[in-house]
């Protein structure tokens, strides 16, 4: 079986593959080798996938594509229906959940404001909040939400969980509006799909507790940006995010300068261990494919939200 890998793949990430697997490489540009054209399984490039999409029609034997990202909105519309697409759900659980905890604590303790004051040379003493006793609502309850809950539990918070489908102690989307007034922190972890496009809108923002914190670690397009800006201007909500709509955020956009806003440039999952974790999953998936076992994270079978 021929496995197509990005040409920049570190050789250490190829160790442990089944002996029957032959490696071919996807160049950043130019034509594919004869071996590459026969690939059955491909690991999509983490960044700069334009060339991959360009040569995709040439890969007549391709049956499976494994991404190194949990979100697949960037690749799903371009995948032929006969190819199995697998995402990297689980790979980002640790770094993104750590980012969420840090983002919540930073916002509650007003670290961004104190950093601004430091740069201005101001001794800006002020009172801050506590996380203990807060109610945290997860919008989307997959593996990242579960990892985040595990890290937040020692802070003495309670949880509300909302997902597309109700299960156990998880509420369905239809319960969201009645639950939002109870939440001090709302964590959006929705993937971007046609169903979640601007899902969280003005009605939801109005239902939030006054002064509550909205944390977006899902996708920027799942939140109505115009309604969000208005809610922030009205001092109804505070906002901390790793994603925006669009990305990068254009010059002059209100989120650059509004108070009670802090965001990072979609880097929550970008840690030095990312590729190590991602290729570990990829190796497991290749092994499963070779042995004829069910693949993990098949997109469409289990969306996780």
Ordered by where they begin, the domains of the chain are 2-91+271-291 (3.40.50.720), 93-263 (3.40.50.720)
> Which regions of the chain are under pLDDT 70?
301-305
Q: How far apart are CA 190 and CA 213, in angstroms?
A: 17
Best CA proximity match to 78, nearest among 98, 91, 94, 62: 62
Cα distances from 185 to residues 79, 237, 304, in angstroms, run 36, 10, 21
Give me the pLDDT at residue 166, please.
95
Give me the pLDDT at residue 119, please.
97
Q: Is there a contact between 242 and 216 (Cβ–Cβ < 8 Å)?
A: yes
DSSP codes joined into one string, the chain: -EEEEETT--GGGGTT--TT-EEEEE-SSSPPPHHHHT-SEEEPPSS-THHHHHHGGG-TT--EEE-SSS--TTTGGGS-TTSEEE--TTTTHHHHHHHHHHHHHHHHTTHHHHHHHHHTT----------TT-EEEEES-SHHHHHHHHHHGGGT-EEEEEESS-BTTBEEGGGHHHHGGG-SEEEE-PPP-TTTTT-B-HHHHHHSPTTEEEEE-S-GGGB-HHHHHHHHHTTSEEEEES--SSSSPPTT-GGGT-TTEEE-SS-TT--TTHHHHHHHHHHHHHHHHHHTPPPSSBTTT----
Q: How far apart are CA 27 and CA 241, in angstroms?
A: 34
Task: Give residues with Cβ within 8 angstroms of 252, minimum separation 6.
Answer: none
pLDDT digits (tens, 9 = 90+) for 167-202: 999 999 999 999 999 999 999 999 999 999 999 999
Sheet holding 41-43, edge to edge: 22-26, 2-6, 41-43, 64-66, 84-86
Q: Are strands 158-163 and 64-66 parallel, antiparallel or unpaired?
A: unpaired
Q: How far apart are CA 42 and CA 26, in angstroms?
A: 9
Q: Is there a contact between 246 and 253 (Cβ–Cβ < 8 Å)?
A: no
Q: Is there a contact between 135 and 274 (Cβ–Cβ < 8 Å)?
A: no
Give me the pLDDT at residue 305, please.
63
pLDDT digits (tens, 9 = 90+) for 247-282: 999 999 999 999 999 999 999 999 999 999 999 999
Which structure tokens are listed for 158? Answer: 């309670």
Half-sphere exposure for 94 (CA within 13 Å, toward CB): 8
Q: State the residue for tokens 């229906």.
A: 81
Give me the pLDDT at residue 301, please.
54
């Amino acid at each position: 079986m021929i496995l197509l890998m990005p040409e920049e793949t570190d050789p250490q990430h190829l160790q442990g593959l089944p002996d029957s697997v032959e490696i071919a490489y996807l160049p950043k540009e130019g034509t594919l080798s004869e071996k590459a054209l026969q690939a059955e399984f491909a690991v999509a490039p983490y960044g700069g996938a334009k060339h991959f999409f360009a040569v995709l029609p040439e890969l007549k034997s391709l049956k499976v594509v494994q991404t190194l990202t949990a979100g697949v909105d960037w690749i799903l519309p371009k995948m032929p229906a006969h190819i199995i697409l697998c995402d990297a759900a689980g790979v980002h659980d640790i770094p993104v959940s750590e980012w969420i905890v840090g983002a919540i604590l930073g916002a509650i303790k007003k670290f961004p404001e104190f950093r601004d004051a430091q740069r201005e040379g101001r001794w800006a003493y002020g009172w801050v909040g506590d996380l203990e006793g807060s109610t945290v609502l997860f919008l989307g309850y997959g593996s990242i939400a579960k990892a985040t809950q595990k890290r937040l539990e020692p802070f003495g918070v309670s949880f509300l969980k909302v997902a597309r489908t109700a299960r156990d102690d998880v509420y369905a989307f239809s319960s969201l509006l009645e639950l939002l007034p109870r939440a001090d922190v709302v964590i959006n972890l929705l993937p971007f799909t046609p169903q979640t496009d601007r899902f969280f809108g003005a009605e939801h923002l109005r239902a939030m507790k006054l002064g509550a914190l909205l944390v977006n670690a899902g996708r920027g397009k799942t939140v109505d940006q115009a309604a969000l800006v208005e809610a922030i201007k009205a001092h109804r909500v505070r906002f901390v995010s790793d994603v925006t709509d669009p990305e990068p955020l254009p010059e002059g956009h209100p989120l650059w300068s509004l108070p009670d806003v802090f965001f990072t440039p979609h880097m929550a999952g970008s840690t030095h261990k990312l590729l190590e974790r991602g290729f570990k999953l990829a190796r497991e998936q290749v092994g499963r494919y070779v042995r004829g076992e069910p693949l993990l994270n098949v997109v469409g079978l289990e969306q996780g939200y």
